[in-house]
Structure 1
């Protein structure tokens, strides 16, 4: 496989990678017994995301690329390969920890929702973005429980408050940069997230969530380039991970 083709197999939804990894890593290292099972679960989780991404792109492009069917078909092989690799990593885990099947079942409705939006070629819909956030943040609970913890709802809730806020915020920076409705909604969410996290999770979370609110207020409308927007979000996600590991 050429480097260009290999790169094309990797989903280009760059913002998704922090959402996929930060809750997982937080849950893993908040657990008393992180181990090899977490490495296998992370592999299954990321491979499953890649498989679902390509399957959804195939669904989306079947009609959009009707005159160029090879464009849609180009996603079938990655979907099959990633799906098989996900099964190879996930089946031994499910045998050893059958409760993981219940976790997968809980995530299924959200995967079905994002698949429906992909089929309708409406992947940029707000609800679609929020539907992707929930199972990603739920992986904190799964990873923590796999490592011998209970169900640490507080750090999972913090992840949910942060990553749900990135959905409207990023829209105010790129696709909806001129929308006052999205701007007001983003600021309102971040203000509520600051209040809720400080009041019910940890008062120290006022520090990162205060910074998230400040960036939601100050940065839209400044014409920042997409790479800089991404760099800011990487810094914010890293700050969230560090905060969770320090506070919980």
Structure 2
């Protein structure tokens, strides 16, 4: 069990960001067999990148060589598994190369921040959000949908998950920062307007997101509670996207 914990990335908030846009893409289209191995390759790829970034970061940030070394094997295993599953998918569906090319610059930003030991930087978090939400378009297209059909749900995911980056900081690492709180509330207010323009019904969940961004910071909530609230918010978004676009 301890080995499993070392291999599975401990960035708990990332799992909702990996799963919700992808599931929204599947459920707002026509589910096909292709989406299953594609989703598995997506998760394996995330695990490979996580360990590779930790290896890059700790080689410079830690004086203990073992700290970086323990990420080398998981990175290689997950990368090999991703390639074994992903290469046949690329052969069967060549347009996935376009999606991979789109994600590459954002991955480069994440690797650069890992090398500088600045993974918690706001820009780094926002860079990770974009390809995760872009996977909605990939999953939707894999089910026979069009990019035009998936654009509104993908933008709604981008508005929500981009907002989680500053909001979670106001609840944990930047909980004493008034500037972060004001910035988070400002983003959520703008996101509410933008989401309502995408679909008036989206004003309902985004009003809830604005309320939690304005009310919850400073109340001393435990990390587990913060995480549970975000899981509920993610499921709420998924439910609305499926109901509106499914």
Q: TM-score, normalised by structure 1?
A: 0.97
Question: The residue matched to 2:118 in structure 1 has which SS?
Answer: coil
Contact 2:32 2:142 (8 Å CA) reproduced? no
Equivalent in 231, 243, 247 of residue 244 of structure 2: 247
- C-alpha RMSD of matched pairs (Å): 0.6
Alpha-carbon separation, structure 2, partners of 1:130 and 1:41:
23
Contact 2:55 2:72 (8 Å CA) reproduced? yes
Q: Does 1:123 align with 2:119?
A: yes
- Write out per-residue CA displacement over residues 48-91 of structure 1, whole angstroms, 9 at most, x where no aligned residue: 0000000000010012222x211110000000000011111111
Alpha-carbon separation, structure 2, partners of 1:207 and 1:154:
16
What are structure 1's unaligned runs of at least 5 residues? Answer: none
Aligned to 1:22: 20
Aligned to 2:231: 234
Aligned to 1:142: 138
Aligned to 2:4: 6
Could you tell which deviates more after superposition, 56-65 or 185-194?
Answer: 56-65
In the TM superposition, 1:59-74 aligns within 5 A as 59-66=56-63, 68-74=64-70
- Write out per-residue CA displacement over residues 194-221 of structure 1, whole angstroms, 9 at most, x where no aligned residue: 011102x110001000000000000000
Equivalent in 73, 78, 94 of residue 82 of structure 1: 78
Alpha-carbon separation, structure 1, partners of 2:16 and 2:3:
23
Q: How many residues align?
A: 243
Question: The residue matched to 1:110 in structure 2 has which SS?
Answer: helix
Alpha-carbon separation, structure 2, partners of 1:70 and 1:123:
20
Question: The residue matched to 2:136 in structure 1 has which SS?
Answer: helix
Question: The residue matched to 2:204 in structure 1 has which SS?
Answer: helix
Equivalent in 150, 158, 161 of residue 160 of structure 1: 158
Alpha-carbon separation, structure 1, partners of 2:186 and 2:60:
38
Alpha-carbon separation, structure 2, partners of 1:78 and 1:26:
29
Aligned to 2:187: 189
Alpha-carbon separation, structure 2, partners of 1:84 and 1:242:
35
Moved beyond 6 Å, runs of 4+: none
Cα offset, 1:30, TM superposition: 1.1
What are structure 2's unaligned runs of at least 5 residues? Answer: none
Q: TM-score, normalised by structure 2?
A: 0.98
Alpha-carbon separation, structure 1, partners of 2:34 and 2:86:
10
Aligned to 1:211: 208
- Write out per-residue CA displacement over residues 90-148 of structure 1, whole angstroms, 9 at most, x where no aligned residue: 11110110000110011000000000000000000000000000000000000000100
Alpha-carbon separation, structure 2, partners of 1:105 and 1:145:
16
Alpha-carbon separation, structure 1, partners of 2:34 and 2:57:
34
Question: The residue matched to 2:34 in structure 1 has which SS?
Answer: helix
